[in-house]
Chain A
Amino acid sequence: ETGVTQSPTHLIKTRGQQVTLRCSSQSGHNTVSWYQQALGQGPQFIFQYYREEENGRGNFPPRFSGLQFPNYSSELNVNALELDDSALYLCASSSLKNTEAFFGQGTRLTVV
């Protein structure tokens, strides 16, 4: 149990729709990172938020966006969904006091 919770656990969306995924960080963690994991692949870094500001981004288009709130919870938004966006989306929280990232169980997104 990492203390990082994600919601929902599963959802199905239609191509072209928009989706919002949510992550509640471990208490005291001011950094949240989001990852996309396609089937059979390792997780790919999407972006990171630190103190409510984006702090680094991977090779993902602008239709992937995020927010971090004052309580350090976070959202990942994906617009204009494509079939290839079907994946497990993971969030991870971390802080200066720890030397590791704590991952949630992920949200399984299926785009049809």
Chain B
Amino acid sequence: DAKTTQPTSMDCAEGRAANLPCNHSTISGNEYVYWYRQIHSQGPQYIIHGLKNNETNEMASLIITEDRKSSTLILPHATLRDTAVYYCIVIRLIAGGTSYGKLTFGQGTILTVHP
């Protein structure tokens, strides 16, 4: 699976959009971009994933560049509860669905949302 690079930490004001970048320049055509987050002392939580199109769900939006070498996770209106470590992970999905659980976590980005 492709390696990802993320900034170590970011700050955001409550109510503003949080834009978390991720670089995955060695991504292959059949690899998906996944985002998870981990709030202190809890297990990681799935946020969103995509292949090449932009995606949006109730939690966030994912913008993937046309060349797929980078992406941005957008939390449109950050709250204090969004303070967490955010992980960008690239996964090559294989038949059988077992790859969803084989995740290579990096150091992630520590997002701190300020009042």
Contact = CB atoms under 8 A, between A and B. Distances in A.
A66 interface: no
B59 to A, nearest CB: 12
B102 A48 contact: yes
A92 B42 CA distance: 12
Interface string B97-114: 110111111111000000
Contact of B98 (A31, A35, A42, A103): A31
A106 B97 CA distance: 23
A31 B105 contact: no
B96 interface: yes
A33 B101 contact: yes
A105 B100 contact: no
A94 B101 contact: yes
A90 B44 contact: yes
Interface string A33-74: 101000001111100101000011000000000000000000
B87 A92 contact: no
Contacts of B98: 31, 48, 50, 55-56, 94
Size category of the binding interface on chain A: 20 to 34
B49 interface: yes
A90 B43 contact: yes
Nearest to B44: A103
Contact of A42 (B34, B42, B87, B97): B87
B65 interface: no
Interface string A86-111: 00001011111111111111100000
A31 B97 contact: yes
A18 interface: no
B113 to A, nearest CB: 20
A77 interface: no
Interface string A6-18: 0000000000000
5 pairs of A and B residues whose beta carbons are closest in the complex? A103-B43, A96-B97, A42-B105, A33-B101, A100-B46
Interface of A: 2, 4, 31-33, 35, 41-45, 48, 50, 55-56, 90, 92-106
